[in-house]
Structure 1
Amino acid sequence: MTTTQQTPVHPTAAHGIPVLAELLGVSKQFGKGPATVHAVRGLDLQVRPGELLALLGPNGAGKSTAIGMVTGLTAPTSGSARLFGRDPRDVRARRRLGVMLQASGVPDTLRVRELLTQFRGYYPAPLPMAQVVTAAGLDGLEGRMFGELSGGQQRRVLFGIALAGDPDLLVFDEPTTGLDVEARRGLWSTLRGLARSGRGVVLTTHYLEEADALADRVVVIDRGVVIAEGGPDEIKARVPGRRVRARTSVDLAVASRWPGVARASREGPWLELLAASAEPVLRALLDRDPSTTGVTVTEPSLEEAFLALTSTTEATR
């Protein structure tokens, strides 16, 4: 009697949504004794189909280490990493993965077309060449040697290499560094399309407006642990406060003493207040100066929320 072994496609989370990749209580240490560096501590992370996950953190937070464990480039010291239900180093899992890292190791003397052809050949069902070229914005560069390209053009080639195998999960480490505004916007459109097609996309970036514009879910890590997780709006809501800006004659010293005002500044006729709540500030402004005009109220940006969260973590260590 023979038995057939099922090939795992991906595990399923408790809430019924499949998981493409996950880290389960992983820790990673480098070195021994007093010189030991704890890069990641008890980290849990899941990547699901159809979502774009932004992994954010200051330099040295453990982002690259976490990415390395998801992609099988490094093994956890403790805990476990799974990619499509397998060990991330399993070739059957890696064939469904596309990765763009900051360090490429790509030969300078190969032409763009040769590089894309070479990497497409590693996969059983690669993305058609024309689609790779268009998605990565490489039209007209196919005959150029990699070493002759600008830094931004090289980043686009590496982006194309990540797409070459038509993967189910893509990991991009700082993909838009060095790109001009037009090229960045083009890659943003491609990233959105990849997630809408049902693929999982993981993005690390120092451009916080990029994460705000693209991410379905944001995970903020600092010193190797998760300090916040949720949609961009949820992350921003973690930081109380509103910025009120108005053209008014109200004295700066007076406004700075109002309850709930954390910071006040003036630039010519414009008064700007950072306050816990906008409503009482607006009432006070209009009571003091009924001729107040040009009032705007804005929420904290993702960058402001990020800085507040990571500075709070620093203060509690």
Structure 2
Amino acid sequence: LSTPDTGQVQVLGASARRAVASGRIAAVLQTGGLLPDLTVAETVQVIAGLHGAKPRIDDVMQLAGLTDIARRRVGKCSGGEQQRVKFALALLPDPDVLVLDEPTAGMDVKARRRFWNTMRESADAGRTVVFATHYLEEAEQFARRTVVMDRGRIVADGETAHLRAELGGRTVSATVPDTDARSTIADELRRAGADEVRVDGTRLTARTTASDELAAQLLAAGATDLEITAPTLESAFTDLTED
């Protein structure tokens, strides 16, 4: 919707403005865009008329989970319900590319789960879904590709699982009752160059690329409550954006 100062932007081979006008790209914005005095159903009907998409109204209302609140005025809807209304409006032209800005802000747990199930089905059907979020757990669970930006600059772009794996190693944690065994293993890990080796009471934690070997060693030393966790997208983001 904005005209760039320099350069060009194309969406599916056309200008961004033409792609928006033709319904090939749609967006769910975080704020604004709704008239409070209309009902949910009226809002969807008006926008459907603009796009010539009235046959899609029932399907879109169902996909967005709006059927039960169709007669409610938009101004009486919660923040999460209004997000679902915006989602329905974005789906009306059946876009090839769907852009989401903090799409689940204000949604409860059930609505968030239903929303992401719908997004996964859309992606499986061939639609490109691009979403900006600060909920990194959501990105970790649902994004197949992650682009990390730091102050407007792209610092990483790749498969989500690959970005996490690039951090190197998994975190292994266990309770080791034997004091001597605990100290010996911790010293060996530090000499081997393992990261974040910590001893908190009887609990030993370390990040290592040899997580299976460490787990076997801990179990042989009588360890209990063993946990092995992969790097998170949050830790990847922190590593990539720290000065």
TM bucket (normalised to shorter chain) is: 0.7 to 0.9
Q: 2:128 aligns with which of 191, 196, 200?
A: 200
Change in 2 beyond 3 A, CA 1:234/1:203: same
Change in 2 beyond 3 A, CA 1:268/1:120: farther
The CA distance in 2 between the partners of 1:231 and 1:296, in whole Å, is: 25
Q: 1:273 aligns with which of 206, 211, 233?
A: 206
Change in 2 beyond 3 A, CA 1:112/1:283: closer
The CA distance in 2 between the partners of 1:76 and 1:277, in whole Å, is: 49
Q: 1:123 aligns with which of 51, 59, 84?
A: 51
Quote how far apart the aligned CAs of 1:105 are.
2.7
Q: Does the alignment pair 1:233 with 2:164?
A: no
* Greater RCO structure (CA 8 Å; 6+ sep): 1
Quote how far apart the aligned CAs of 1:266 are.
4.3
Hey, what does 1:67 align to over in structure 2? none
| 1:44-75 deviation digits (Å, cap 9, x = unpaired) | xxxxxxxxxxxxxxxxxxxxxxxxxxxxx223
Hey, what does 2:197 align to over in structure 1? 264
| 1:72-107 deviation digits (Å, cap 9, x = unpaired) | x22322221002211111267542222111122311
Q: Secondary structure at the match of 1:110?
A: coil
The CA distance in 2 between the partners of 1:92 and 1:243, in whole Å, is: 45
1:1-317 matches, cutoff 5 A: 73-90=1-18, 94-125=22-53, 128-249=56-177, 250-251=182-183, 254=187, 257-278=190-211, 281-282=214-215, 285=218, 290-311=221-242, 315=243
Q: Secondary structure at the match of 1:209?
A: helix
| 1:169-223 deviation digits (Å, cap 9, x = unpaired) | 1111110011111110000011011111111111111111211222221111112
The CA distance in 1 between the partners of 2:165 and 2:189, in whole Å, is: 23
Judge conservation of contact 1:111–1:143 (CA < 8 Å) in 2: yes
Q: Point out where structure 1 has 5 or more consecutive residues left out of the alignment.
A: 1-72
Coordinate RMSD, CA, aligned: 2.3
Q: Secondary structure at the match of 1:122?
A: helix
Change in 2 beyond 3 A, CA 1:210/1:91: closer
State the AA in 1 paired with 2:196. Answer: R
Q: Using structure 2 for the length normalisation, give the TM-score.
A: 0.88
| 1:231-262 deviation digits (Å, cap 9, x = unpaired) | 11111122122100112131497477343232
Q: Using structure 1 for the length normalisation, give the TM-score.
A: 0.68
Change in 2 beyond 3 A, CA 1:181/1:161: same
The CA distance in 2 between the partners of 1:91 and 1:201, in whole Å, is: 15
| 1:246-305 deviation digits (Å, cap 9, x = unpaired) | 12131497477343232133455332222354256446646xx62123333221011111
The CA distance in 2 between the partners of 1:189 and 1:262, in whole Å, is: 37
| 1:103-159 deviation digits (Å, cap 9, x = unpaired) | 223111111011100111121345622211111111211111111111111111111
**% identical aligned pairs:** 38
| Larger helix proportion of the pair | 2
Q: Point out where structure 2 has 5 or more consecutive residues left out of the alignment.
A: none
